[in-house]
Structure 1
């Protein structure tokens, strides 16, 4: 009976380890997905949230259809100011969004580092970083949309905008998964790594 009890405890600990690995893998996959979406929106789509034949509006472009010329006309900074668009606000929005892209790159690498080193001190950063990224990305998008709201409609948004919205959703899922992971960590042995064999007691 003692042997069965020990066997059951060991199986329970193995299940805990599998749970930890699964949660960590989900965090990594969501981080990689968010990075891929941001690269698509900000690099592949060049930061354009609206990319239509008669309108192209993004963090670096503001082009409207010129009926006289019969083509898209990209407006310069002085024209945007005359239209009531704040250049400071546009620059701030651009910085916020592209800073998130940089954060996302380093965050994905950092997750791999935490998994390899298994430093418990670093695990809380896994939760803090996506919260910061979500706040910054939301702020950048909010500022940008506020500036150009009168020149676009909801149906105008194309792939770049949808990718950033999907990034927000993945960041939220990352936060929820990281919260579950940290709760799981608290239930593991406080002095041993939950990813190593050392976390599993050996019964003779």
Structure 2
């Protein structure tokens, strides 16, 4: 009976990890594709990973700044490119994360769970690093009350990725604990998923 409980908990934890992966992926797609990476999206100001548009008093309209204008304002171009690269790389890793989780759930292999853990760790680090770098470069023009739903979606995706990382680490520790206690490896209990 205890083996059945352990197996049920392992499957439940795997599905929780998969649902967290689907949630973080959908939040990142919303923020970076649907909202076009805009952190602030107001009629008089639009600041994002690809937009830096401020209200121009003399022209009476929103004016998008070019690279040379951003340099004059003290915004580093290299830092913005690195922020984009980090955030969008995290999105690409999140696209593959559900596939890795389903594959490891079917095989229940410890090494496969280690790969999932590495991918999740990279995603968490890249998203946090890219968002922090972007906010550090543009903090002068950003007020907390102006942050858009795109920013909230990225923050939510970061929280879900951290939860997913802890859940995957817990599952990996359970697999290693089962092997240390002398129980047969969980990989030997379930045959691999075959199509």
**Residue of structure 1 in register with 2:169 after alignment:** 179
Whether contact under 8 Å (2:31, 2:149) holds in the other structure is yes
Instruction: Summarize the Cα distance change of 1:172–1:196 in structure 2 as closer, same or farther, 3 Å threshold.
Output: same
Instruction: Summarize the Cα distance change of 1:194–1:52 in structure 2 as closer, same or farther, 3 Å threshold.
Output: farther
Instruction: Summarize the Cα distance change of 1:44–1:117 in structure 2 as closer, same or farther, 3 Å threshold.
Output: same
CA distance in 1, matches of 2:184, 2:81: 46
**Residue of structure 1 in register with 2:122 after alignment:** 132
Q: Show CA shifts across 1:97-119 (max 9, x none).
A: 00000000011111112223333
Structure 1: any 5+ residue segments left out of the alignment? 1-10, 199-204
> When the two structures are aligned, how many residues end up with a matched partner?
188
Choose the corresponding residue for 2:9, options 19, 24, 27. 19
**Residue of structure 1 in register with 2:82 after alignment:** 92
Q: TM-score, normalised by structure 1?
A: 0.86
More moved, 181-190 vs 41-50 = 181-190
Residue 83, structure 1, aligned to residue 77, structure 2: no
Q: TM-score, normalised by structure 2?
A: 0.90
Whether contact under 8 Å (1:34, 1:171) holds in the other structure is yes
Structure 1 residue 194 displacement after superposition: 7.0
CA distance in 2, matches of 1:195, 1:43: 42
CA distance in 2, matches of 1:192, 1:178: 16
Choose the corresponding residue for 2:185, options 183, 186, 191. 191
Instruction: Summarize the Cα distance change of 1:72–1:185 in structure 2 as closer, same or farther, 3 Å threshold.
Output: same
Q: Show CA shifts across 1:120-175 (max 9, x none).
A: 32111222221221111111111111111101111111111111111111111112
Structure 1 residue 193 displacement after superposition: 2.1
Q: Show CA shifts across 1:38-89 (max 9, x none).
A: 0000000000010011110000000001222222111111111111111000
Choose the corresponding residue for 1:122, options 112, 119, 134. 112
More moved, 116-125 vs 140-149 = 116-125
**Residue of structure 2 in register with 1:201 after alignment:** none
